Every structure is written in structure tokens, then in C-alpha cells.
Structure 1
Amino acid sequence: MGLSLYLFHLLYLQTTGTALWCYEGQFSCEETCRDPSRWAGEFPSCGGLRQSPINIVTSKAHVNSALPPFTFLGHNEPINITVDNSGHSAQFSLPQSVRLSGGALPGHYRAANFHFHWGHEGSPGSEHTLNGERLAMEMHIVHIKEPYGSLAEAEHDMAGIALLAFLFEESADDHPHLNTVIEALGRVQGNGSSAEVVNFRLSDIVPSATELHSYYRYVGSMTTPGCEQAVAWTVFQKSLPISSRQLSAIVSKCRFWTGQPMIDNFRPTQPLDGRVVYKSNLGNLLLCFPPVCYVLLLAILCAFNLLLES
């Protein structure tokens, strides 16, 4: 972005009362944008008690036998999608044919978009951390609860938005299908640019539902302003591979609205503030908490006794 265009953009946003927000790495003495530590000053929900992302301490996650597998619809179908550089991230729009159910979610959800969070050259950039460790990259698939027509409508429901989070771990080999995403990012380098990706399959990037039976669940928020606290988060335990070559290619493609390289586009982890993180248990009763197992066993014994008395 040229200096004159940037100054015009800055003046326009200031005169219209729209706040400029940015990530931690963008902020400097010369910038006037609000970094994550100051988001709440302009967007009050960002200072709420159900904020995301969080650090997941795996040993403290509560095993929950009521968290079943998911059902994905449209993941295997070839679709044409659009990728847009919003100035804060590169967002891939998804058609309504991509849907989600199961996973103990309170209803059916349709997909809206997916996007990624990354670090910089040689540095990890996932938003969620596991036991204090930040992974290489994180992918979010955003879903809206039916029958809401938009994210704005869904934000008034505590579980109006279902976000699936996939963590990428650096590996020696390439992710076999991630180059499609890398090529698309190369075509939307500047703020406001867009491009089309044809014959794309979500199943090329993320595993099938049958491979994603182990996951963490908690209630939280969007990770960008206004940080709406209306999200049922699912963070899958299975990590996806990404090579150092692919990661370097991704972090070098796009630029923020300021013209700076789009790197470190992740929000720092937020306090848990008394929330409970649950973990699915693969449907194995041996992994239940003892009280749950006792209740199930008692129910079976009662049913058996009723049969004997009849």
C-alpha cells in the first residue's frame, strides 16, 4: 500500500469512528492501531470472561462420554471457492452445501469460511496452545448454526457459531495438498484482493470425520474483534503435517492492511476464567470418569431387575 493511500485509509477510518485493530507484531510507536492488549477498549467483548484462544492443559481436560463423532457434509465434493485478503487475514469462503452436525453440538451448522493463523519464518503461530506449546499453524473452519442467516445473527446465541480448529505440526514431508492453498495466497497478496480456487475439496486438507474422534471442547469467543462470545470450540487432537518449506511459503505471501508482511497473525492465549475444557473419550467406557461409569452400570442393573420382575 502506498503512503498516500495508507494515510487516506487511516484518515477515513478515524473520521468514521471505525477503530483500527492489529496484531501484536504490527504494533509500534509509529502505528496508531490497537494491539490485542487494547482491543477491549474499543470492543468490550474482547475483555469478557469467555475469550479465545486458550492454553489447553491436556491432563486437566475432563473426559466427557457425551461427546460423539461429527458428521461432515460436502467435504468430499469439489467446489469453487473465493479467497479474499481482508487486511487482517486471508479468508476462504465456503458454500452452504458444506455442513456440520454431531459432536454434541445443539443443532445443524452450515460452513461460512476457513482461514489460517501462522507465525513468522522459523517461529510457530497457532492460536491455541497445548500444554504451553504453540504449534506451527492453525486452521479454523467457521460454521453458523441453522437457521441463522449470518454471523451477526448467530452471535446472539452462546452456541451460534461452531469453530473447528486443526493444529499443524512441522514435519519432514510436505502436506500433500496444501500447495493449492499456498498458490491461492500468492494471488491475494494485497489488502482487498481476491481470487477463485476451482475444484477444491476440504477433504484434501483435513481428515475425514472417522479420523477425528478425539477432540477438546470448550465455550469461547471469536479470536478477532469484536471477540463475540458465541462459539462452541472444537480443537482436534490429531495434528496435521506441514513442512518447513510450505510454512515459509505461506508466511511470505500476504500483507496486512498497513502494507506490512502478514506474519504472527494470532491472538495471545486468554485466561480460562473458570471454564472447563472437555475431551471426547472415543466411546470407550473404560475411559469414563468413575461416577459416570457407576451411573451407567446402575442404569443397566435397574433395567435388568425390571425385566426379572415382569
Structure 2
Amino acid sequence: MQPFLALLALACAAGSTAEQHWCYEIQAKEPNSNCIAPAQWPGDCQKNHQSPINIDTSKAKVNPNLKPFTFTGYNQKKKWEVVNDKHSVKVLLGDGISIAGGDLPAQYQAEQLHLHWSKESDRGSEHSIDGKHFAMEMHIVHKKEPSSNEVQGAKDNIAVLAFMVKVGDQVNEGFQPLVEALSHISTPNTNTTMKESSLQNMLPQKEKLVHYFRYQGSLTTPDCSETVIWTVFQEPIKLNQNQFQEFSTKLYYDQERKLNMKDNVRPLQQLGDRQVFRSRAPGQLLSLPLPTLLIPTLTCLVASFLQ
């Protein structure tokens, strides 16, 4: 009898563990919820070099090595698979898309992009800039191309490009294929194929992509592995209000369609002993406000005139 009871207890414990999964705060607050809220996420999530963070632009140091990226395959038009993975909408990017430059130690292959959002336009981004959150945040996740000397779990194995998204007046045609796909993946673990689209058409103009911030951090979902080189671009993507609202109205966390997918955002983490760096765009002389630059110049001109 005792061995049977022991096996029964083990089976119950295993069943309980299987039922529990990580979730966002909005899900954990639901009645009868059995998921793990962000404060208790497992893995590396309780370590000290976590993401997302608030980026204080006044404390970001200029790094002259943060030069423009080389985007390969970003202009290719493809019909990507898009998935509701229970936590976000994910676009599977496949092969042939990569980045280099930007002071990255190697070439990185794009794997997927996903988004974080809220129903409100000022709380949907994971990162904040000078304390300001945006409507959404898009992450393009790249993995370092394998090499003979690659170290498992190295701090630079993943490179994520993060784009803030704000609400504007005009329809963003580059985002429209993704927006139109949302109604076909309303419930978890469903997928569809987007209309032909390119990554380049979803992003700000290329000349704007020279302004960005850089820091070392983690994945923003469990296991929160601290293996990510983060690049957070200064120029936001702009979506029309209707396009923005489609994400929080068409997608659901559950099969029963009781809880709309929104607020899929990890709370801000402490920067700790890390340093945030910023790029210096070509032709950018000094990161000083215009009056600071003009006053000495005008003083010299007046002095020369009076001599």
C-alpha cells in the first residue's frame, strides 16, 4: 500500500508542476489562475543583469564603435508563418536574414520577431526611455552564427533589436500584413501565413537606424537567460490607432476567448552595475544642446568684431 501511495503522490506532484506555467501579471490576477507571475519566474529571472530596463539618456555614454548595422535579407519579401504562442504574436523568419556591424562580435541570424503591448498607448513597451513607456515594443531576435570556438551560454549568443511603437495618424502599410493575420490566430497555439511582406517595410527609414542604445541584458521571458546584447532604437515605429487596437482585441490568452491578450510586459528591472551606451550618428559632433554650442561661438564672434 505504501509504495502505491508514494507513486500517487509523485504523480500528483508531477501533474501540478505540468499545469503551472509562467504568465504575465494580468493572467496571474485572473480567478483560479494557476500560473507563475513575473515576480516568481524561474531560471535566471532573479539574477542582477536582467531586462527590460529604463534607459536614462542623460547617463548613456557615447561609444564611437556603435556604428551603423549591416542588414542582410531585410528587404526580401516573404510569406512568413505567424503564431499565437500563448504569450504574444510571433513571426517565424526562417533563413537568409541577418545583421552584422553595430559593434556586434559576429554575424547574427534572425529567428523570429514578436511584440509586447497594452490597450493604452503609454504602457505597452517593456523598455522605457527617460521614464516614458510606448504603446508597443517589437523585438527582432537574432542568434549568433555558430563557430568552432562558441561558448555555450556566452553573454553575446543572442542579439535583440528593439523598436518602440507609437500611435500615429497614418496607416503603416508595412505592418498591415501582420495586422490582417491576427484574426486568424485569435486563440493560443494557432498559426497562419502572412501576406508577402519584408522586414525593411516594417521598420523606420534606414537613415534613422543609426541612433540607438546598447546594453548587456537578458531575455524578458523565462528562463531570462543573461545572454542578450540589446539594441534599443531611438526612432519609433508608427502605427495607426486602428492597427494598434487590433492586437488587444483580436488576440486572446485562452482558448475560451475570455481574456484578451494585452499587458504582456515584464516589469522594469534594475540596471545595477551595468552601463548603457549610445551611438554617435555620422556627422554628429557633440551630444550637447544647441544653445550650449552657440553661446561660445557667438562670444568669440563678438569679441573678434570689437577688436
Q: Is the 8 A contact 2:61 2:276 kept in 1?
A: yes
Gaps of 5+ in 1: 1-10, 290-310
- Name 1:31's counterpart in structure 2: 33
- Quote the Cα distance in structure 2 between the aligned partners of 1:232 and 1:60: 19
- Name 2:139's counterpart in structure 1: 140
- Quote the Cα distance in structure 2 between the aligned partners of 1:140 and 1:250: 15
- Quote the Cα distance in structure 2 between the aligned partners of 1:255 and 1:155: 35
- Name 1:185's counterpart in structure 2: 182
Q: Is the 8 A contact 2:89 2:115 kept in 1?
A: yes
- Quote the Cα distance in structure 1 between the aligned partners of 2:285 and 2:14: 57
Q: Is the 8 A contact 1:65 1:283 kept in 2?
A: no
Q: Which moved more, 1:44-53 or 1:14-23?
A: 14-23
- Quote the Cα distance in structure 2 between the aligned partners of 1:230 and 1:276: 16
- Quote the Cα distance in structure 2 between the aligned partners of 1:12 and 1:208: 53
- Name 1:157's counterpart in structure 2: 154
What are the equivalent positions in structure 2 for 1:56-205 lying under 5 Å apart? 56-121=55-120, 124-147=123-146, 156-205=153-202
Shift of 1:127: 0.6
Q: Is the 8 A contact 2:121 2:134 kept in 1?
A: no
- Name 2:222's counterpart in structure 1: 225
Gaps of 5+ in 2: 1-11, 289-307
Q: Is the 8 A contact 2:120 2:135 kept in 1?
A: no
Q: Secondary structure at the match of 2:23?
A: coil
- Quote the Cα distance in structure 2 between the aligned partners of 1:258 and 1:219: 36
Shift of 1:242: 1.4
- Quote the Cα distance in structure 1 between the aligned partners of 2:131 and 2:80: 35
- Quote the Cα distance in structure 2 between the aligned partners of 1:12 and 1:83: 35
Q: Is the 8 A contact 2:43 2:222 kept in 1?
A: no
Q: Secondary structure at the match of 2:194?
A: strand
- Does the C-alpha gap of structure 1 residues 18 and 64 become closer, same or farther in structure 2, counting only changes over 3 Å? farther
What are the equivalent positions in structure 2 for 1:204-283 lying under 5 Å apart? 204-257=201-254, 259=256, 260-283=259-282
Shift of 1:17: 4.1
- Quote the Cα distance in structure 2 between the aligned partners of 1:12 and 1:161: 34
Aligned length: 272
Q: Is the 8 A contact 2:125 2:265 kept in 1?
A: yes
TM-score under structure 2 length normalisation? 0.83
Q: Which amino acid aligns with 2:26?
A: G
Shift of 1:130: 0.8
Q: Which amino acid aligns with 1:92?
A: V
Q: Is the 8 A contact 1:69 1:102 kept in 2?
A: yes
- Quote the Cα distance in structure 1 between the aligned partners of 2:232 and 2:56: 12
Q: Deviations over 1:160-199 (max 9, x none)?
A: 0000001011212222322211111111111110001242
Q: Which amino acid aligns with 1:35?
A: A
